[in-house]
């Protein structure tokens, strides 16, 4: 498996991992369906969560896309991004309280809630080192600036799309299972808190990125 393929698998894996995390919102989709007593509410809620998550990923990735236009500073940007991811992981380890403003977002605004929670938990930051690794495969020394800009922008959109699809696939599968078969007791008896694992994952991703920066 070459480096680029491995990085794309990392995009998918990060999405699957985030989707499993209840903090990304799939329990809200179950709740919406149970309150409305309609199957359609489950899938509408999942679509809203996916839209918010996708926008949050773009909000993080696009500024780094702009930075990559300055290709002579690419290594410095990659190093800074890796350190930023590690810093976010350390912060979440120290401060495990969920931001209070998230509780004030009504359930009817799931897209906004999904966007804010992804930003608050550093979900997009986890993608940044992976995205920069993929973008680095564009041969900046041999392509026109316009092609480089278009290439990095399309990569950012594709990374956000693939990641979000994987996220909502894994989270949606659990939500469907809980709603149709397992029931709420599954959450009470079987689930565990992923906050510490999430913070450690950010530190790990940032650390790996630092090691492999050329």
pTM of structure? 0.80
Q: Cβ atoms within 10 A of the Cβ of 192, count?
A: 8
CB 121 within 8 A of CB 92: yes
Burial class (CB in 10 A: 0-12, 13-18, 19+), 185: exposed
DSSP class of 69: T
Per-residue DSSP letters for 150-194? HHHHHHHHHHHHHHHHHHHHHHHHHHHHIIIII-THHHHHH----
Sequential pLDDT tens for the chain (214 residues)? 677 788 888 899 989 988 888 878 888 888 888 888 888 889 999 999 999 999 999 998 888 777 665 555 667 777 877 888 888 888 777 876 655 555 556 656 889 888 988 888 788 888 888 888 787 765 544 444 444 445 678 888 999 999 999 999 999 998 998 888 876 666 655 555 566 777 788 888 788 777 766 5
- Please give the residue range of the domain that contains residue 19: 3-212
Q: Can you tell me the distance from the alpha carbon of 124 to that of 112, in angstroms, rounded to the nearest whole number?
A: 15
Number of domains forming the structure of the chain: 1
Tokens of 197: 């694992």
């Amino acid at each position: 498996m070459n480096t680029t393929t491995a990085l794309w698998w990392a995009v998918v894996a990060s999405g699957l991992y985030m989707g499993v995390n209840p903090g990304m919102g799939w329990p809200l989709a179950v709740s919406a369906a149970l309150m409305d007593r309609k199957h359609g509410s489950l899938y509408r809620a999942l679509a809203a969560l996916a839209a918010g998550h996708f926008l949050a990923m773009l909000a993080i990735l696009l500024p780094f896309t702009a930075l990559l236009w300055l290709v002579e500073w690419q290594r410095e940007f990659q190093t800074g991004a890796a350190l930023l991811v590690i810093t976010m992981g350390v912060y979440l380890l120290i401060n495990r309280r969920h931001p209070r403003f998230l509780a004030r977002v009504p359930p009817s605004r799931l897209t906004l809630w999904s966007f804010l929670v992804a930003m608050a938990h550093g979900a997009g930051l986890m993608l940044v080192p992976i995205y920069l690794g993929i973008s680095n495969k564009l041969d900046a020394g041999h392509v026109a600036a316009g092609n480089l800009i278009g290439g990095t922008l399309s990569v950012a959109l594709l990374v956000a799309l693939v990641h979000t699809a994987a996220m909502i696939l894994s989270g949606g599968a659990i939500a469907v299972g809980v709603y149709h078969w397992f029931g709420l007791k599954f959450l009470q008896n079987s689930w565990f808190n992923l906050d510490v694992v999430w913070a450690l994952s950010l530190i790990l991703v940032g650390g790996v990125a630092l090691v492999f920066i050329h």
